């Protein structure tokens, strides 16, 4: 889906298959990467080693301006509500060890699709704040959900030790010298 905000504005998100109420705006969505900066003593600049892709953190700002927006919010807000405490019936003292669940939710919006963000967990849902007379805003903080990908590979530029090649060459030369020093192939002479 190509996002054309001037001709086809999209002022909502779809979270877990349900359209958000009011007017939704996405703020701060990005595609962060992780680098290890390696610098030597007395050296300007550094070598960078790519360490993978980090999870995006962003906000969805929902503005409510009509009574219908508020009615829709009250039916939609359970998606972003604080996680319920689940008791494990297999444990005898489940009240001592409650379990919280915050499952990832599918999210749809063209801006997020362009960034490859398709699922989130809700980090926090803030209280409604009046921004103008008759206009309220609710900030929802999201963290991208993406299952980890194992990417084990050797560091770029690693080579065999120089000594290994020299040792094998010395061994080959020693055998050649031994063969040449005994031209008749007589053993023990």
Residue 160 CB coordination number (10 Å): 7
CB 106 within 8 A of CB 118: yes
The model's confidence at residue 34, banded by pLDDT at 50, 70 and 90, is confident
Domain boundaries, the chain: 14-160
Distance between CA atoms of residues 124 and 61, nearest Å: 12
Digit-coded pLDDT (tens) for 126-165: 999 999 999 999 999 999 999 888 765 445 554 555 555 6
Residue 38 CB coordination number (10 Å): 10
Digit-coded pLDDT (tens) for 57-115: 999 999 999 999 999 999 999 999 988 766 655 655 555 656 667 889 999 999 999 99
Residue 38 reports pLDDT greater than 70: yes
Q: Give the mean model confidence (pLDDT) for residues 180-187.
A: 65
Distance between CA atoms of residues 146 and 107, nearest Å: 12
Instruction: Identify the CA nearest to 99 among candidates 84, 86, 90.
Output: 86
Amino acid 154: pLDDT: 45
Amino acid 186: pLDDT: 56
Instruction: Identify the CA nearest to 63 among candidates 109, 144, 4, 132.
Output: 132
pTM: 0.69
CB 112 within 8 A of CB 118: yes
Amino acid 12: pLDDT: 94
Distance between CA atoms of residues 81 and 61, nearest Å: 15
Q: How would CATH label the architecture of 14-160? A: Beta Barrel (2.40)
User: Rounded to 5 degrees, what angle do the CA atoms 4, 72, 22 make?
Assistant: 35
């Amino acid at each position: 889906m190509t996002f054309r905000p001037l001709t086809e504005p999209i002022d909502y998100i779809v979270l877990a298959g349900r359209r958000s109420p009011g007017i939704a705006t996405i703020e701060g969505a990005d595609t962060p990467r992780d680098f290890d900066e390696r610098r030597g003593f007395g050296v300007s600049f550094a070598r960078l080693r790519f360490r993978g892709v980090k999870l995006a953190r962003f906000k969805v700002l929902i503005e409510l301006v009509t009574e219908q927006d508020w009615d829709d919010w009250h039916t939609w807000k359970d998606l972003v509500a604080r996680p319920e405490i689940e008791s494990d019936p297999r444990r005898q003292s489940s009240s001592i060890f409650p379990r919280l669940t915050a499952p990832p939710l599918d999210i749809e919006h063209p801006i997020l699709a362009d960034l490859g963000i398709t699922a989130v967990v809700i980090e926090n849902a803030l209280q409604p704040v009046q921004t103008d007379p008759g206009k309220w805003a609710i900030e929802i903080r999201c963290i991208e959900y993406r299952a980890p990908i194992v990417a084990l590979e050797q560091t770029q530029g690693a080579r065999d030790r120089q000594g290994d090649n020299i040792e094998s060459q010395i061994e080959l030369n020693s055998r050649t010298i031994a063969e040449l020093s005994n031209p008749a192939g007589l053993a023990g002479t």
